[in-house]
Structure 1
């Protein structure tokens, strides 16, 4: 089972190694937009939207990796004071009864919008923008699947590596 968890981790690690470059690209494009606007008087709606697309992709596709490296936001008030076994129980409960159901619900309720967007190849957010809102909306199910895969990996580790902790 640990091999399965390692393979699931590999999906988010591999994706993170690719999309981390979006942060640099996003900064460079934003810098070019500012220079273009204030130095040369040139403006591009598509360039501005590209920053939105990169920002969205960066955060939505990196969420699973963030969960993997334990850099997500914890709201557990008593978690730090619990024993390792207690922390494991809280994590298992959180994955099974909070994270997985919420990702499943988000995936279920967003899918019709994503499907409809693809069926009409939904156009730009603004006149002159990027004609690919359907790609932007596709980040929602991708986010759900990546987080659910990482949650499954962490659950496997919590349940099968508990003797090692």
Structure 2
């Protein structure tokens, strides 16, 4: 079980590093978009490559941080059933959800996007806009990264579920532990 916990910890570390790095793109997006607006409405000039840039930064950021968002449990969930559930029930729901929905979704995204990405790399696809940015093929590769990072974080959740359901919740890495409120609800005598 300690090996599983170490694997989950390593997966979480990867997504934490990537998430923290790519989250900074949000600042870049704001700065580039602000610059485009000022150039257009104050100086009456516009650069197509700058318009491409903030759209591409947005795409890169949201695909790269998807695993990080899952790690932080920031994805949309129907909480009316999940929030009041015990830790064991949450672990079972997470296990089923990852196996039935998340991993098949990641496989479908990978399988359908791989020819699309390979084709873009094959001819070094660039922006379709005249004066746009080169290197669109690099951005398209982020789709594969999205599927991979989301899938490995799903594997970390499977490991978390296995550890909780097997009575080894203390081995769950801190980065993916269930909330303190839930642990307190499961152990009302304060045996946390």
Normalised-by-shorter TM-score class: over 0.9
The answer as to whether partners of 1:125 and 1:133 remain within 8 angstroms in 2 is no
Decide which moves more: 150-159 or 79-88: 79-88
Structure 1 runs (4+) greater than 3 angstroms displaced: none
**Alignment deviations for residues 77-102 of structure 1 (CA, whole Å, 9 cap, x no partner):** 52234332222111100001110011
Q: Which moved more, 1:149-158 or 1:78-87?
A: 78-87
- Gap regions ≥5 residues in structure 2: 170-182, 184-192
Matched, 1:31 2:49: no
Residue 62 (structure 2) pairs with residue 59 (structure 1): yes
Q: CA offsets per residue over residues 12-50 of structure 1, 9 Å max, x none? A: 100112112111111111111111111111101100000
Question: 2: CA distance between counterparts of 1:85 and 1:22?
Answer: 37
What is the rounded CA distance, in whole Å, between the counterparts of 2:11 and 2:62 in structure 1? Answer: 19
CA contact (8 A) 1:50 1:130 kept: yes
| Structure 1: tracts of 5 or more residues without a match | none
Larger Rg: 2
Give the structure 1 partner of residue 73 of structure 2. 70
1:91 and 2:90 aligned: no
Find the aligned partners of 1:103 and 1:131 in 2 and give their Cα distance.
Answer: 28
Aligned residues: 165
Q: Name the TM-score, length of structure 1 as normaliser.
A: 0.94
Instruction: Provide, for residues 108-157 of structure 1, a one-character-per-residue CA deviation record: whole Å limited to 9, x for no partner.
Output: 01100100110011121311111122112111111000000111111111
Q: Following the alignment from structure 1 to structure 2, what is the Cα–Cα distance between the partners of residues 38 and 19? A: 29
The alpha-carbon deviation at position 76 of structure 1 amounts to: 6.0
> Any conservation in 2 of the 1:53–1:136 contact (CA below 8 Å)?
yes
Q: How does 1:139-154 map to 2 (within 5 A)?
A: 139-154=142-157
